[in-house]
Structure formats: C-alpha cells, structure tokens
C-alpha cells in the first residue's frame, strides 16, 4: 500500500521517466477521481505542457508543470505508475494516461479508485488548506513531541493521522511500534517522553531505510513482526503469539507479550 516510502519511489520514477517531454494528449477514464478540477480543464492545462520537477509531502506527489502550477496525485490504496516507451505496451487499465510527443506514455492506474487527481497552484497552500501535518521525514524531534503532547488517543492512530504527521500508514505504524516494543493502543499521554523519542527515532530509521530500498518489502522484513499479516503466528522476538485487533478501524498486528 502506498505509504511514504512507496510514494517517494513513485516520485523518483517520475523524475527518471516523465520529465521534460512535451505532453501531446491526456486520457482520463475515471473523472470521479478528480478533486478540484474538470476533465476539460485538466486537458486544457496538461496538453502541450511539460513536467519539470517533483515534490512529495507525506503520501502526496506533486509534479510541477512548466506552465501553471502542479499536478497532484494521491495513490489511495492501489494507485500505481507505469511508464511505457513508444514501442512498449501501456497497461490496459488506467485512470489517467499521459501521452508524450514521442509516443511514450505515462499511466496512473488505481483499481480501487481511492486515489485523487488535482491541479494545484501552490503545494504549500494545498497542504495547509487540507490540514496535513509535517512530512514524517522532514519532522524534527521537537515538532514531533509538540504535535503529540496532550493527545489521549492510541499511539497507533495518532501516528497514522495525516493531519498530525503525513506519511505513515497502517503497515508501517505496526512496524514502528513493534520495533519500539510499544503496544499500539497505548494512550499517547501515558507514554514516557523517552518512549516518544524512541517512536520518533524509529519512524525516521524505518522510513529512511524503506526509501533507500525503494519500499521493497522483501528488503524490509526485519522491521516487521510478520512477513504475512496473520494472527496466531509466533513473535520473531519473544515467545509470544501475534495478536490481531482492529485499531482506529484498521487491522493491527502486534505481540502482546513484548509490546506493552
């Protein structure tokens, strides 16, 4: 699922494949995924335009246009990007397809259609308007402690809340808390300052390493409690048994004997 590391990997993919080429035509098959624009104005802005650079904030990807603002992509749960050279076959299913002048294509697909496409003038304004917290990798320890102070909700739901910290999703939150040996339901205001600092350090550590390996899960197995998210499996660290609980409406796996 696209959390911060996956989106960072998409950002690089755009950098490597889609910049500095004139857009000839776009096709949009799911207009309902547009956030603040219409098919007509999306076409109007993108066609004959050029992508020049990229920016990521949390799980949001912004692609700067040579003329006029940014294209914003949010990947929801199943969003993906595919570049196909002029002789390659682009994926059959797509939400947005960009056809460059040389015939190569760039496709945004999203089978469950929980993603979003928007045109934004200025990404800082967009981030502010929608109330996103600071990006998890840009965040300082002081900011982190301030953002979490006096919160009573469970640590897992707090670090997953994009309005508090942008970028952490369900699976990475489980990994972070497992590594810190903290129970996901612990109310934030009952955790020691030291524990919160540990969560901060571990968040950075895991996300940085995930970014380094392009979010390749096979190379990140050592951070997670499980390779397969399934209750009842033995804990990799102690003699405990993996527990399953719905926390904040999300399926959560943790070891009740070493996370407390």
Partner DNA sequence: TGACTTGTTCAAAT
Partner DNA sequence: GATTTGAACAAGTC
For residue 51, the cross-strand partners are 65
When binding is defined by CB under 7 A, the residue of 1, 19, 233, 258 that contacts DNA is 1
Binding range to DNA, per CB under 7 A, among 18-26, 43-51, 155-163, 233-241? 155-163
When binding is defined by CB under 7 A, the residue of 69, 133, 169, 184 that contacts DNA is 169
Binding range to DNA, per CB under 7 A, among 64-72, 145-153, 200-208, 235-243? 145-153
Select 90 or 169, whichever has its Cβ closest to DNA.
Answer: 169
When binding is defined by CB under 7 A, the residue of 41, 48, 111, 124 that contacts DNA is 111
DSSP sequence for the chain: ---HHHHHHHHHHHHHHTTT-BEEEEEES-GGGBSS--HHHHHHHHTT-BEEEEEEETTEEEEEESSSSEEEEE-TTTEEEEEE-TTSPPPS--SEEEEETTS-EEEEEETT---EEEEES-HHHHHHHTT---BTTT--HHHHHHHHTT--SBHHHHHH-TTTSBS--HHHHHHHHHHHT--TT-BGGGS-HHHHHHHHHHHHHHHHHHHHTTT-GGGSGGGSS-SS--TTPBPSSSS-B-EEEEETTEEEEE-TTT--
When binding is defined by CB under 7 A, the residue of 36, 146, 227, 251 that contacts DNA is 251
Stretch 5-44 residues interacting with DNA (CB under 7 A): none
When binding is defined by CB under 7 A, the residue of 8, 80, 135, 171 that contacts DNA is 171
As measured in angstroms, the least distance from the Cβ of 110 to DNA is 9
Q: What is the side-by-side strand order in the sheet with 51-57?
A: 51-57, 60-65, 70-74, 116-120
**134 is a site residue for DNA (CB under 7 A):** no
**77 is a site residue for DNA (CB under 7 A):** yes
When binding is defined by CB under 7 A, the residue of 49, 105, 157, 203 that contacts DNA is 157
x/- track of binding to DNA for residues 37-76 (CB under 7 A): ---------------------xxx-------------x-x
Stretch 220-249 residues interacting with DNA (CB under 7 A): 229, 244, 246, 248-249
Cα–Cα distance measured from residue 224 to residue 235, given in angstroms and rounded to the nearest whole number? 10
When binding is defined by CB under 7 A, the residue of 23, 63, 120, 158 that contacts DNA is 158
When binding is defined by CB under 7 A, the residue of 43, 64, 151, 181 that contacts DNA is 151
For residue 128, give every residue at least 6 positions away whose Cβ sits within 8 Å of its Cβ, in sequence order, or none: none
Task: List residues binding DNA (CB under 7 A).
Answer: 1-3, 58-60, 74, 76-77, 111-114, 130, 150-154, 157-158, 160, 162, 169-171, 188, 229, 244, 246, 248-251
């Amino acid at each position: 699922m696209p959390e911060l590391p996956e989106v960072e990997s998409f950002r690089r993919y755009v950098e490597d494949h889609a910049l500095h080429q004139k857009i000839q035509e776009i096709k949009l098959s799911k207009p309902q995924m547009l956030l603040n624009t219409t098919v007509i104005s999306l076409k109007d802005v993108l066609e004959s335009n050029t992508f020049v650079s990229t920016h990521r904030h949390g799980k949001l990807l912004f692609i700067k246009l040579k003329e006029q603002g940014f294209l914003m992509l949010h990947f929801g749960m199943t969003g993906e990007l595919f570049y196909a050279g002029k002789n390659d076959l682009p994926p059959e299913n797509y939400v947005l397809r960009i056809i460059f002048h040389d015939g190569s294509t760039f496709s945004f697909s999203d089978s469950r259609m929980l993603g979003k496409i928007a045109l934004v003038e200025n990404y800082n304004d967009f981030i502010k308007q929608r109330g996103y917290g600071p990006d998890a990798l840009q965040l300082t320890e002081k900011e982190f402690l301030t953002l979490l102070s006096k919160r009573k909700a469970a640590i897992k739901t707090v670090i997953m809340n994009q309005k508090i910290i942008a970028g952490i999703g369900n699976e990475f939150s489980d990994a972070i808390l497992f590594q810190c040996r903290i129970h996901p339901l612990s109310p934030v205001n009952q955790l020691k300052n030291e524990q919160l600092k540990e969560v901060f350090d571990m968040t950075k550590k895991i996300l940085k390493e995930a970014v380094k390996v392009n979010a390749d899960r096979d190379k990140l197995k050592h951070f997670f409690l499980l390779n397969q998210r399934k209750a009842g499996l033995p804990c990799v660290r102690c003699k405990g048994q993996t527990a399953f609980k719905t926390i904040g409406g999300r399926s959560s796996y943790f070891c009740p004997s070493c996370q407390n």
